[in-house]
Structure 1
């Protein structure tokens, strides 16, 4: 999505969220993501696409401070007061997000959106570092919390 266009990962996640909402598997949707740059606002883009698909805006909540997976998961609990929720993403991201949620004592499940047929090497490498960062983030969170 960076650079202006909608990428396949984004599209498939929006499609999955719409599918779950339409089939009454989720009642509300929290769109969480980055908006630190003036012309880049992930939650607004997600909400706009979900509304285009027919989901009424009052069922969609925006989290503008989801700058990392840890922040997004933490904020669903702390800001939106949810201890049990579904994360909609691709399998590789859900594995990491569920790990973080479980470490925080939350009841988190994932719904795997459609993924790319051929896995992008850049995404694969990024995910290796993202998983290392997730371990670091969770460790730091508990260190700060206990200190």
Structure 2
């Protein structure tokens, strides 16, 4: 009986581990050659889509993921590799508004107000990518986030009919970002579950033209 329980426990450990590693491998392989870290090498797209995150960490300190995404967007725009910016993030309450906060910082750093469009319903990466196509009418886009996030976003985009490449914002050290990196493995499994279950964005809404 004890040996049987040990075998069952071993299987229950191996199956989730296999799923985590397989999903991670598939997304990494799919996105290979589709992300860039140098503005000189990345192809031009009309729109850069910056994926939202909070400006501050729970303790009130600046969020380096946020700051690095803002910096990457400005670099891309200044280099002439995008003409417009679509900011997609969570606007879940009157006290939390990622798109408006990000737009203010982008304008402060020199991107014209009328070149920035806001998607207030980017609650998840899935929502951001599908809405970029269905609501904002994009057929191709440059996603702006950290490399691990860009890879997942590119996979989701392409599976939903949107051609995507990624511009990689600077990452942070493994020690500082360990919890985020671990969550990413589970987020990648969720990508495949969403595809199987045909999960849709929480909201669609009226179409908005970026021009």
Q: TM-score, normalised by structure 1?
A: 0.91
Which structure would you say has the larger RCO, counting Cα contacts within 8 Å and 6 or more residues apart? 2
Residues 1:75 and 1:134: Cα distance change in structure 2 (over 3 Å)? same
Q: TM-score, normalised by structure 2?
A: 0.64
Give the root-mean-square deviation of aligned CA atoms.
1.7
Greater share of helix: 1
Does residue 106 in structure 1 map to residue 168 in structure 2?
Answer: no
2:194 equivalent in structure 1: 137
CA distances 1:97-129 after superposition (whole Å, capped 9, x unpaired): 001011112210001111103352211121111
| CA distance in 2: counterparts of 1:115 and 1:51, whole angstroms | 23
Greater Cα shift, 127-136 or 7-16: 127-136
| CA distance in 2: counterparts of 1:11 and 1:142, whole angstroms | 30
Higher Cα Rg, which structure: 2
1:38 equivalent in structure 2: 94
* Aligned residue-pair number: 143
Does residue 21 in structure 1 map to residue 99 in structure 2?
Answer: no
Q: CA deviation at 1:142?
A: 7.3
Secondary structure class of the residue paired with 1:116? coil
User: Could you tell me which of 170, 173, 183 is aligned with 1:117?
Assistant: 173
Q: Unaligned regions of 5+ residues in structure 2, if any?
A: 1-53, 201-211
| CA distance in 1: counterparts of 2:199 and 2:121, whole angstroms | 20
